[in-house]
Structure 1
Amino acid sequence: MNRPHYILLPVSPVFIAFSLFCAFLLNLLPWGQFVGAPDFVALTLVFWGVHQPRKVGIGTAFFLGLLMDVHDATLLGENALAYTLLSYCAIMIHRRVLWFPLITQAMHVFPLLLMAQSVQLMVRFIVSGKFPGWWYFIESAVAVVLWPFITMILLAPQRRAIDKDHTRPI
């Protein structure tokens, strides 16, 4: 408890929408076909579900899931179901996760991302009967490695001071 806690500025809803839009655009890039490419929309939804549960909720997750279903040409509702459950679980643990350092936060986020991938895999397996292999779950491990970087990037606008005063410690 000796590390400093920063007083964050309120987050702008425009910045939240922009970050979700950028995450969606990152998922549209062609590297999504490679094994281990993280789901940036899921990672951003978990981040905002943990940090701003009143501003990004289950409805936003469902809408983004439908957009990803259309983009991936998967069964309509597959990503929507996974993102909705992911957002719900992130909102449920948001008070606990924020007390921990970034590495421990990543360990709390890892089971959530695995659960979302498991739901997607279960739906795909029920529909097609094909199992993509255990390498399918490496995506969650890559996303957990990116968690500290995503946290630093998305919290950066909130850490700036409104007026610079070099004599003020906060």
Structure 2
Amino acid sequence: MSIKTTTLCALLGLLAPTAAMAQDSAATLSRLLECKLTADQVAAFTDSINAEEVTDFAHAGSAASGDAALSLWKSDAPITAWGETSDLVHLSSTTEMLLAFKVAPGQELTRGKTIVDRIGGMSPRPDQAAMEETYGWKGMDYRKPLGGNRTARVLVDLSYSPGWVTVGCAYSDIL
């Protein structure tokens, strides 16, 4: 074996655990976003993030979201949830995380509706019409209770985050 091959193999050996860790976090995030974790598993994962033990998932900063009202975190590995893939997650609270991805302006509602149809059984939040009428809010906010205090959510917020679609899970009671 040549020195170059030996060095390459050694480097790959060092990178393999990092790549595996990124895949593990991405897999956990996928399950979390699809409401497939228990409340205890969500709490444990959130505690790991807070303890800075999850090194392949970190706050992306405002550059990633631009003017959008999103708190985006970036994964080193792509995350797939509800038929969509992105490396960005919107953490709206400690109990709700939504996969976030950019779409062409004007396509947000169409893309959101596609996801709502794919998930099935979703309905608008109870006060969505009042929000639109009272506050002039524009977008869509669909939910589907899944039991076990878990709710699938598709949110398109044209008022505060145009150009973005988010889909994920709330592990608590939400409106």
Query: TM-score normalised to the size of structure 1?
Result: 0.31
Higher radius of gyration, 1 or 2: 2
More strand by share: 2
Which structure is higher in RCO with an 8 Å CA cutoff and minimum separation 6? 1
More helix by share: 1
Query: TM-score normalised to the size of structure 2?
Result: 0.30
